[in-house]
Structure 1
């Protein structure tokens, strides 16, 4: 019983790591209906950029770390504009199989670029000085960075939920996601919404890479590992639904944390068990559509 608070914190941290990965993925699917396998690769590029910029600036402050994460978001967002122009735009109206092949090829390309620039050795990013310790809470000690990841995940969700449901930009995005033709009839620039949504989705991948660079060992396989978990949350939550992705990430994170404590010899097994059970009970996911 005394380990329950720690398991809860670990589960929330795992869930927020998955949500930060899945946030941009869910946004792009909601508007383009493309399962973007390359999302993990661009998140990985964001993490490596965080490593490179941090090593260059030699900053150890929290504000410096957050600034680097924002720079990574902007850089990967610009890459997203290039991908939208030369890849996603050509995938409109083609079979979903071609989309999967094209985005998987992009993932492989991202891995190749990382190997070419940074090599195949594992790299690590030191946490900011303010997050290198631990916080005593009640009778247990929680690492500061784990709590930071939880706060970041919740903050990103609240920001995305506000933009999508409380602003005119969000209403236009939802309109295009539901019916692009009708949205165009009422004067919405559908192409501009497509472009900026993709840029935002890739920027979220870069931001996640920058924020999670401390929490992960950097390797060319980093993107592939994270994207599997993100797809699980995306499917359980309901394809393209930000609120569903957040709820699914929290649920799967808690199940995984407690499951690994019960069966430590098979880590991660309960993630797939929970995924299978939820989809058997509710195959459409917890929520539907971009709502």
Structure 2
């Protein structure tokens, strides 16, 4: 037993050292940097983050943006996954390539493509004028609508893959049995399908939220200076203002907020999943 444990430790040691070198050490460096002041270690940077309305606005904007992107991506991605799961294997392969397309393109190239599309002389503006929907050029650049659309575009594939994998574990006979007992499509989805795909929805929502909350290239190009988020504010503090402690404090606060929301979200969804599973296993008519 002791030799097996020693062997496991030695087997995991390279991965642990790799993790420490690439993640733990930089995070610790950022954390220590956030306490630096001219007079020595202190909390000046954190006081500025929590007392300045400018940073409060940026954090609230980032939170709202992340929640909206997550909600829209979950709705679109779950619907696409349901359709994909009912396709024949040959069509599934084709549509999987189409769905994963955004992930095969560089984030800069993809975002610049959205910038061209959203510009005042872009295809959307030209089409709106041709259809007499607008009297002049319209632009979605530097707007929340354009920023949400660009982030949802790259987030949906993560939802589709996660939910689609969960759907593979559902026996089609379960849905047919529910239909034979008189259940409509919505009831079958709510009572039989949704409890089984909740783990996939949970993992997808966490991934999408973290990607939206920490995105930099897309908000920097589509949002510009008008719609700053925390990631672009951190960049400005580090490279434009050269205020490294303040930039580090913003990064630490963003990390802590993400971790806190992840824990809360995970607990709520796990509780909902247990209730749904209990409801699924309870015979019809049995009191709760």
Q: Which structure has the larger Rg?
A: 2
TM normalised by structure 2 equals 0.27
TM-score, normalised with respect to structure 1:
0.27
- Ranked by relative contact order (alpha carbons within 8 Å, sequence separation 6 or more), the top structure is 1
